[in-house]
Amino acid sequence: MVYWILLQKSFMRNLQYKVAHLINNAASAIFGFVFIAIWAGVLQGKEQNSPYDVMDMTYYIAAAQCILWVSGFLTAGLNIQNGVRNGAISLELVRPTNFFLYVTSQEAGRLVYNFFFRSVPIGLVFAITVGFYVPQNVLSYLFICISILLAIIISVNLHYLVGISACWTTEVAWAHFVNFTLLAGLGGQMVPIDFLPAPLSVLTQYLPFAGAIYYPVMVFLEKASHDVIWIQLFWAIALTLLNLWITERARQKLEIQGG
């Protein structure tokens, strides 16, 4: 299966830089420590007014910093924009492979790599220094896996959407900025979305961004009902269908205009 091979190749390619990435992991952990310190400072003496105590927030930030590497820090536009710029996309679209799967399977390889060489080491750093939550219920592990998988699918789709928009706009740097900001801000990277001010805290629960970071973290911490997976599933399917449709439109556009 060609997509499986693409995934493996991408994994191996990233493996070359693993030492550089390990240094970067230290910085990523420092970001986590800063967020944890902020929450510890904020909640000091006020834990009774908050749904979460300092330990909860420590676990939350630690888990979010790990999950970010598989569902937050993806390749900008999945590099589709490069193909648009140099014209290679016309060739890639007419290949007998499915373009959507062709692009996303390569990203998947990178994310598998990120899981082992970013998420796990960063999680270990937190486990040693400030503690890392261990889910208690055996059944939770199944839901955690499903939730993380859906989070990845949602995020890959969001990034694909940014990348494929290059067929119409050529420049996607700003779209990536906006997408990432929304993902981190409304996805709950630093602030659990139920802490957001009133209208936002309700609205964000139903946006795809929460499905990429907030829900998998809450499922991992066993603080969310398993029903949230349905919201994630909805977005995973909806975004995938949307992208397949847009890819078809891009193909038609390129066929008519010849790139």
Subset of residues 177 to 206 that bind another protein, contact rule: CB under 8 A: 177-178, 180-181, 184-185, 190-191, 195-197
Q: From CA 114, how far away is CA 74, in angstroms rounded?
A: 10
Subset of residues 37 to 66 that bind another protein, contact rule: CB under 8 A: 37-38, 40-44, 46, 49-50
Q: Does 79 bind another protein (CB under 8 A)?
A: no
Between 78 and 186, name the residue whose CB sits nearer to another protein: 186
Between 20 and 134, name the residue whose CB sits nearer to another protein: 20
- Candidates 34-42, 100-108, 120-128, 155-163: pick the segment binding another protein (CB under 8 A): 34-42
Report the nearest approach of another protein to the CB of residue 12 (Å): 14
Out of 4, 116, 141, 174, which residue is the one contacting another protein (CB under 8 A)? Answer: 174
Q: Does 28 bind another protein (CB under 8 A)?
A: yes
Q: What is the DSSP code string of the chain?
A: -HHHHHHHHHHHHHHTTHHHHHHHHHHHHHHHHHHHHHHHHHHTTTGGGSSS-HHHHHHHHHHHHHHHHHHTSPPGGGGHHHHHHHSHHHHHHHSSS-HHHHHHHHHHHHHHHHIIIIIHHHHHHHHHHT-------HHHHHHHHHHHHHHHHHHHHHHHHHHHTHHHHS--HHHHHHHHHHHHHHTTSSS-GGGS-HHHHHHGGGSHHHHHTHHHHHHHTT-S-TTHHHHHHHHHHHHHHHHHHHHHHHHHHHHHHT-
Report the nearest approach of another protein to the CB of residue 19 (Å): 4
Query: Residue 219 is encoded by which pair of tokens?
Result: 């499922």
Q: Does 30 bind another protein (CB under 8 A)?
A: yes
Report the nearest approach of another protein to the CB of residue 69 (Å): 13
Q: Does 124 bind another protein (CB under 8 A)?
A: no
Between 194 and 222, name the residue whose CB sits nearer to another protein: 194
Out of 24, 88, 94, 203, which residue is the one contacting another protein (CB under 8 A)? Answer: 24
Q: From CA 52, how far away is CA 206, in angstroms rounded?
A: 22
Q: Does 148 bind another protein (CB under 8 A)?
A: no
Q: Which residues would be at the binding site for another protein (CB under 8 A)?
A: 16-21, 23-24, 26-28, 30-31, 33-34, 37-38, 40-44, 46, 49-50, 171, 173-174, 177-178, 180-181, 184-185, 190-191, 195-197
